[in-house]
Structure 1
Amino acid sequence: MIAIPAIDIIDNQIVRLFQGDYQQQTNYSLKPLEYAREIAANGLDYLHLVDLSGAKVGQIVHRELLAEIVSKTTLKVDFGGGVKTNKDVKKLLQLGANQVVIGSLCVKEPETVVSWIKEFGINQFILALDTDGTNLKINGWQDEAGITLEANMKYFEQFDELTILTTDIRKDGTGNGPSTNLYKELIQKFPNQRWIASGGVESLSDLEELREAGCYGCVIGKALLDGKITLKELKDFNDASI
């Protein structure tokens, strides 16, 4: 399992939201590029970069930050938030994104996302299917999608080894531990996909639990920013997972 540091951005500032609520925002003094360089300096390879401003307004806002991090670090960066068009995907890949994260459009226009996977290749994408435990949430988790994750998967289960990041919004930013049972169920129902966990992780034991559950990866944000897990510990965890 790959443990992946995450940086969430609003107005070029690192933030964390509590359960996806834009009204419950914690700001961090770290500069995004400085933090990305620190992540790379600790030997980590990947970064999950989330444009929360873009997710909220429905168009990419922080593409320049992506380009800066890609050009000034060795990190392989996946980028999501506000991706709506074929042109957006092309531009992000041109800027050096390792993968493009597609969220709301997977629900609103699944056929479009399927066509992109076929055009650009399965390894160019991560699907972000985020749940409140019942239905998927879209538009920066502001709106109910009115469909379950399992029902939405009918469009995508045709693709083997498609990477899917699922956040349990009830856990995000809480530090109350991950929804391990949710990931076990998803892995059992859809064993041909690569499932990335997100939300609630606060300790190395949480990571070990998710690895044992069979997760392909796990995104960690708040626990790193608050010092509950260090970047060195994350690097050592990844080395031990190889």
Structure 2
Amino acid sequence: MILLPAMDLMGGKVVRLRQGRFEDATVYPADPVEALRRFAEAGAEWAHVVDLDGARAGEPVQHDLLRTLAAGSSLKLQVAGGIRTADHVAVLLDSGVNRVVVGSLCVKQPDLVRSFLDRFGPSRITLSLDVRVIDGTPMVATHGWQQDSGRSLWDVAADFPAASHLLLTDIGRDGMLEGPNFALLEQASERLPHLAIQASGGVSALDDLRRLRTPAAIVGRALWEGRIDLAEAVSACA
């Protein structure tokens, strides 16, 4: 399993949001360039970087910083935040980013997302679907978790048979350090075998990573708060 340590950026600083709320942010005293260096030293090969300013603005905002991070790190970067057009994707990929993450567009403009997959290739695009489990059904939320799409995870995923990567977040678990939704992840792996699922939300201990059976996992708050040692986590995922 590939482990992607997560780094969320707002105003050039490393932060973590609690359940996606911008008003509930924790700022960490870390330099983003130095943070990626430490990730690499711990044995990580990938990092998941989120431009929170871009997510709020609806277009990538911290381009210069992202370009600096991509150029100065040995890690492969997966970048999210405000990606809405083919130009947004192209600029990030041209700057050295390895994969870009597309979220709400999967629901709002599926034809556009399919065009991204065709133009840039499924290996360069990660679909990101955030879900709330309602009466046993994972329902997709959009626009920073503020809107209910009215569609299930299964319905939305079916729109993208050519996709290869899916970042799946259970909103109720994100930033809560209560453990992943293993049942949801197992169900998704069974029902969406063509997608390499990245488990996101709730990882709080090494045992969580050992239990996961997804191809990849993202660790954020637990890492930044010292609950998980990254080198040990990378070893646990090997």
TM-score calculated relative to the size of structure 2: 0.94
For these two proteins, the number of residue pairs brought into alignment is: 234
* 1:152 correspondence with 2:152: no
SS in 1 for 2:44: coil
Matched AA of 1:159: A
**Where does residue 8 of structure 1 map in the other structure?**
8
Matched AA of 2:79: F
**Where does residue 216 of structure 1 map in the other structure?**
215
**Where does residue 42 of structure 1 map in the other structure?**
42
Q: What is the deviation of 1:152?
A: 0.7
**Where does residue 84 of structure 2 map in the other structure?**
84
**Distance in 2 of aligned mates of 1:94 and 1:11:** 22
Flag structure 2 segments of 5+ consecutive residues without an equivalent. Answer: none
Q: Deviations for 1:86-138, whole angstroms, at most 9, x for unmatched residues?
A: 11111011001100110111111011101110111110111101112242122
Counterparts of 1:223-234 in structure 2, within 5 Å, are 223-234=222-233
Q: What is the deviation of 1:150?
A: 1.2
Q: What is the deviation of 1:229?
A: 0.8
Matched AA of 1:207: L
Counterparts of 1:49-128 in structure 2, within 5 Å, are 49-128=49-128
SS in 1 for 2:162: coil
**Where does residue 181 of structure 1 map in the other structure?**
183
**Distance in 2 of aligned mates of 1:143 and 1:15:** 23
**Where does residue 33 of structure 1 map in the other structure?**
33
Compared CA separation, residues 32 and 142, structure 1 to 2 (3 A): farther
**Where does residue 22 of structure 2 map in the other structure?**
22
SS in 2 for 1:176: coil
**Distance in 1 of aligned mates of 2:175 and 2:199:** 13
Matched AA of 1:87: D
- CA contact 2:3–2:44 (8 Å) conserved in 1: no
Q: What is the deviation of 1:49?
A: 0.3
Matched AA of 1:151: D
Matched AA of 1:223: A
- CA contact 1:58–1:139 (8 Å) conserved in 2: no
- CA contact 1:159–1:193 (8 Å) conserved in 2: no
Q: Deviations for 1:204-234, whole angstroms, at most 9, x for unmatched residues?
A: 10001113xxx01000001110111112112
**Distance in 2 of aligned mates of 1:196 and 1:237:** 16
**Distance in 2 of aligned mates of 1:58 and 1:144:** 18
**Distance in 2 of aligned mates of 1:70 and 1:114:** 25
**Distance in 1 of aligned mates of 2:216 and 2:234:** 13
**Where does residue 195 of structure 1 map in the other structure?**
197
Q: What is the deviation of 1:144?
A: 2.3
- CA contact 1:173–1:222 (8 Å) conserved in 2: yes
- CA contact 2:165–2:197 (8 Å) conserved in 1: yes
Q: Deviations for 1:160-194, whole angstroms, at most 9, x for unmatched residues?
A: 6x110011111011100000100111111111211
Pairwise CA RMSD: 1.2
Matched AA of 1:168: D
Matched AA of 1:233: E
Identity %: 37
Flag structure 1 segments of 5+ consecutive residues without an equivalent. Answer: none
